[in-house]
């Protein structure tokens, strides 16, 4: 065990003296040392309750005969960071989290880990770290927020952003905007729709790295505390059996996660994070595989923003395991994959029936026969781009219109607010990719404004940046290569015709090939003056199609 490097033998007497400085008894030092990675902070609503989760994990570890030791991980609230420079620091934290957790784990000789994440980049960053250090590890998240309620209807953060668009369009007044502001986010927890945080927490279950309920039990429910205790107990069982993350996160398990992703209609950000996690596991996860899995995986859930059900509803309907049970009726899962329970996927989901067919559609009555995410390719995105197909209105699945071109999010937002974007347009936002942003900002403000102004059935938006899981509509992100890397999105001109065909998985800049070749000959990508971490990140990051991993 790694603990032997810091505790056992005469040579480690200096190390033991430092453990005594921590107040650890000889009895505690003799037990497996379990690191608990706490993402607690007082700025992210999804993390303000994690101190209670961590205390419960500690109790579970101690009950099972281990010594729990807490160390921190950072997290950014994408909602608070949205629409300004702060969003450049969201995706980049995924690698900071993975790197710092790797450093803390291997420097201190832990025998096992319990990861306690919740929001957006925090979850994939810790999954990446788990794969790297490859010691027994269990995940237990902080849990989702309860939905808000305005005028008797459930709401979530996407409703709030769209309310701002409605306000600019003169559809609601100050008082109504204030009501949304005060009622949309009523509790702690990750925002209540199938946004990135909840997507990744649910996919952690599908991967086999979290216990049942990890993705869906609301943050404020006492069952979340019980789950945390069980996670502490589970990691001790894994230590004794030496079940490790790479035993669990195999290629087949990652394919299970992609399948569940399609059924749930998860955030497009999963198309960044799953390839990055796979990379740390030594598994190649090509974006083309997403369409292959989507083609045979029915979309069973329309959680917000795609529909009007929320995480609490999914939990009451049976959660992720119930979705997996439905999928398994058609043999769509690899059921022999190992999980943190010490049992296989098949053993875990046996008998986990669907308790609400309005929240989780039966496998023979899906929302659609194909999955919730699509990867598009064409001359505008030869390496690919992604769209949350399940959140696109039927009339926008095929759309052609003139390009309205902007070199940053702020310029596009100003044009939308000013009423300059009209029905039929295709808004193009470039230089927001992993290198060009840098940091690949989420575009929730402009997409929400388009929906809030009533243009969701007539305007598309494409970008080499990305979207929040709260985005809905014909919004295509991760266009690769990005403008800053010389991609064709960088030579799109105002008025060029762009055709988006989601059923056929294509995106096309309808300009004669000879004209495009001439433009490319003189195209020099714009450069930004960068300093600090963003400068280093931009110099190392790969494109969105490969998961924005660091080279």
User: How buried is 74 (Cβ within 10 angstroms: 0-12 exposed, 13-18 middle, 19+ buried)?
Assistant: middle
CA angle 76, 80, 86 (to 5 degrees): 65
Phi, psi of 5 (to 5 degrees): -70, -15
Q: Compute the radius of gyration of the chain from its Cα atoms.
A: 23
Catalytic residue among 156, 270, 390, 468: 468
Could you tell me if 326 and 359 are in contact, meaning their C-beta atoms sit under 8 angstroms apart?
no
Q: Annotated catalytic, 141?
A: no
State the CB neighbour count (10 A cutoff) for residue 493: 12
Give the dihedral sign, CA 434/437/439/443.
negative
Spatial separation of the C-alpha atoms in residues 330 and 184, rounded to whole Å: 38
| 225 alpha carbon, distance to own chain's centre | 23
Spatial separation of the C-alpha atoms in residues 416 and 424, rounded to whole Å: 13
C-alpha distances out from residue 497 to 180, 397, 401, 426, 494, Å:
37, 16, 5, 8, 9
Closest C-alpha to 482, from 428, 543, 439 = 543
Spatial separation of the C-alpha atoms in residues 481 and 324, rounded to whole Å: 34
User: How buried is 255 (Cβ within 10 angstroms: 0-12 exposed, 13-18 middle, 19+ buried)?
Assistant: buried
Composition of the chain by helix, strand, coil, percent to 5: 45, 15, 40
Closest C-alpha to 476, from 512, 432, 517, 439 = 432
Count, residues in the chain: 551
CA angle 33, 34, 36 (to 5 degrees): 145
Instruction: Enumerate residues 6+ apart whose C-beta is below 8 A from 508.
Output: 378, 379, 380, 498, 499, 501
**Would you give the end-to-end CA distance of the chain in angstroms?**
31
State the CB neighbour count (10 A cutoff) for residue 329: 12
Torsion of CA 183, 186, 190, 193, to 10 degrees: -50
Spatial separation of the C-alpha atoms in residues 139 and 211, rounded to whole Å: 7
Tell me whether the omega of the peptide bond preceding residue 481 falls within 30 degrees of 0, making it cis.
yes
Residues belonging to the active site: 468
């Amino acid at each position: 065990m790694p603990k032997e490097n810091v505790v056992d033998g005469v040579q480690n007497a200096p190390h033991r003296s430092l453990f005594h400085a921590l107040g650890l008894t000889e009895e505690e030092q003799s037990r497996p040392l379990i690191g608990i990675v706490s993402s607690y902070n007082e700025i992210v609503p999804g993390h303000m309750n994690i101190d209670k989760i961590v205390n419960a994990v500690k109790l579970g570890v101690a009950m099972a005969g281990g010594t729990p030791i807490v160390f921190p991980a950072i997290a950014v609230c994408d909602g608070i960071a949205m629409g300004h420079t702060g969003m450049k620091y969201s995706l980049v934290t995924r690698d900071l989290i993975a790197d710092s957790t790797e450093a803390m784990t291997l420097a201190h000789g832990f025998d096992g880990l319990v990861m306690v994440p919740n929001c957006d980049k925090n979850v994939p960053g810790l999954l990446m770290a788990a794969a790297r250090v490859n010691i027994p590890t269990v995940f237990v998240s902080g849990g989702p927020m309860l939905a808000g309620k305005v005028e008797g209807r459930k709401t979530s953060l996407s409703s709030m952003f769209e309310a701002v668009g409605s306000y600019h369009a003169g559809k609601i007044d100050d008082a109504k905007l204030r009501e949304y502001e005060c009622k949309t986010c009523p509790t702690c927890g990750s925002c209540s729709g199938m946004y990135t945080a909840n997507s990744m927490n649910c996919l952690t279950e599908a991967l086999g790295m979290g216990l049942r309920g990890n993705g869906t039990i609301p943050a404020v429910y006492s069952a979340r505390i019980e789950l945390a205790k069980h996670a502490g107990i589970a990691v001790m069982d894994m230590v004794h059996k030496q079940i490790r993350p790479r035993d669990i996160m195999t290629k087949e398990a990652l394919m299970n996660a992609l399948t569940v992703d399609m059924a749930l209609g998860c955030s497009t950000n999963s198309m960044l994070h799953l390839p990055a996690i796979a990379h740390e596991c030594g598994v190649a996860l090509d974006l083309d595989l997403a369409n292959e899995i989507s083609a045979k995986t029915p979309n069973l859930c329309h959680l917000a923003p795609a529909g009007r059900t929320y995480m609490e509803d999914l939990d009451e309907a049976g959660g992720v395991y119930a979705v997996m049970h439905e999928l398994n009726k058609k043999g769509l899962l690899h059921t022999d994959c190992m999980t943190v329970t010490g049992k296989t996927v098949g053993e875990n989901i046996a008998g986990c029936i669907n308790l609400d067919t309005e929240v989780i559609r039966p496998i023979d009555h899906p929302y659609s026969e194909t999955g919730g995410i699509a990867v598009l390719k064409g001359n505008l995105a030869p390496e690919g781009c992604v769209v949350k197909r399940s959140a696109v209105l039927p009339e926008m699945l095929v759309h052609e219109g003139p390009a309205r071109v902007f070199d940053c999010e702020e310029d596009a937002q100003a044009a939308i607010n000013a009423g300059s974007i009209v029905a039929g347009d295709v808004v193009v936002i470039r230089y927001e990719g992993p290198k060009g942003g840098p940091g690949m900002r989420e575009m929730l403000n402009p997409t929400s404004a388009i929906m809030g102004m009533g243009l969701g059935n007539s305007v598309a938006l494409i970008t080499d940046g990305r979207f929040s899981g709260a985005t809905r509509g014909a919004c295509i992100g991760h266009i690769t290569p990005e403008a800053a890397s010389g991609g064709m999105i960088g030579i799109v001109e105002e008025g060029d015709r762009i055709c988006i065909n989601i059923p056929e998985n294509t995106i096309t800049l309808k300009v004669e090939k000879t004209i495009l070749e001439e433009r490319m000959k003189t195209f020099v990508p714009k450069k930004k003056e960068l300093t600090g971490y963003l400068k280093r990140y931009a110099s190392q990051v790969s494109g969105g199609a490969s998961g924005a991993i660091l080279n």
